[in-house]
């Protein structure tokens, strides 16, 4: 970028109210958007989507669970989760079994193929996280995690 263009870009950064330039909300939005985009690109190289990864990881780490609970855990709507699970069932990654007592309740579980796929993709997730956190100490990461949880707690409905 030529020097004049760089100076104009910096000058534009200084435009607007000071509070807006120092506001955390836009920085959080951009950090979330850019890091998720990066992570989705990395997962895509392994042939999976962000949704598939989060479902696989949740079931691997938390165990089988009722579909409604899984949707709540992932903070997504039931119909959205159903579409993802249908695709994952066709690929042999998960099963949905109806509960005998309540036929409307489906228990979602990883298959052996789903467990194997999780193991293949876990290294992608770990490498991606390492890159996102590059230059941060363990203390920085712990503090960031605590601060993000505080922000989430502050904005949750009472």
Q: Tens digits of per-residue pLDDT, 97-110?
A: 987 676 678 999 99
> Is residue 2 very low, low, confident or very high in pLDDT (cuts 50, 70, 90)?
low
Please state the length of the chain: 158
Check residues 81 and 15 and name the one with the higher pLDDT: 81
Q: Which residue has the tokens 């119909």?
A: 79
The confidence score (pLDDT) of residue 115 equals: 96
* Per-residue pLDDT reduced to its tens digit, 67-85: 999 999 999 999 999 999 9
Identify which of 35, 97, 66 has the alpha carbon closest to the alpha carbon of residue 58: 66
Q: Are 81 and 74 in contact (CB under 8 A)?
A: yes
Q: CA-CA distance, 99 to 107, in Å (whole number)? A: 7
The confidence score (pLDDT) of residue 148 equals: 92
Report the percent of the chain where pLDDT is more than 90. 72
The confidence score (pLDDT) of residue 97 equals: 92
Say if pTM beats, i.e. exceeds, 0.85: no
């Amino acid at each position: 970028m030529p020097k004049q263009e760089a100076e104009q870009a910096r000058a534009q950064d200084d435009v607007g109210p000071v509070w807006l330039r120092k506001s955390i909300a836009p920085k959080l939005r951009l950090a979330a958007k850019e890091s998720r985009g990066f992570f989705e690109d990395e997962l895509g190289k392994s042939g999976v989507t962000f949704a598939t990864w989060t479902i696989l990881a949740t079931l691997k780490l938390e165990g089988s669970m009722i579909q409604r609970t899984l949707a709540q855990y992932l903070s997504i709507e039931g119909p959205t989760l159903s579409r993802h699970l249908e695709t994952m069932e066709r690929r042999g990654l998960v099963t949905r079994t109806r509960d005998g007592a309540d036929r409307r309740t489906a228990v979602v579980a990883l298959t052996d193929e789903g467990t194997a796929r999780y193991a293949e993709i876990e290294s992608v997730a770990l490498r991606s996280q390492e890159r996102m956190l590059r230059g941060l100490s363990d203390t920085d990461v712990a503090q960031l995690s605590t601060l993000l949880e505080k922000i989430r707690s502050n904005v949750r409905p009472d």
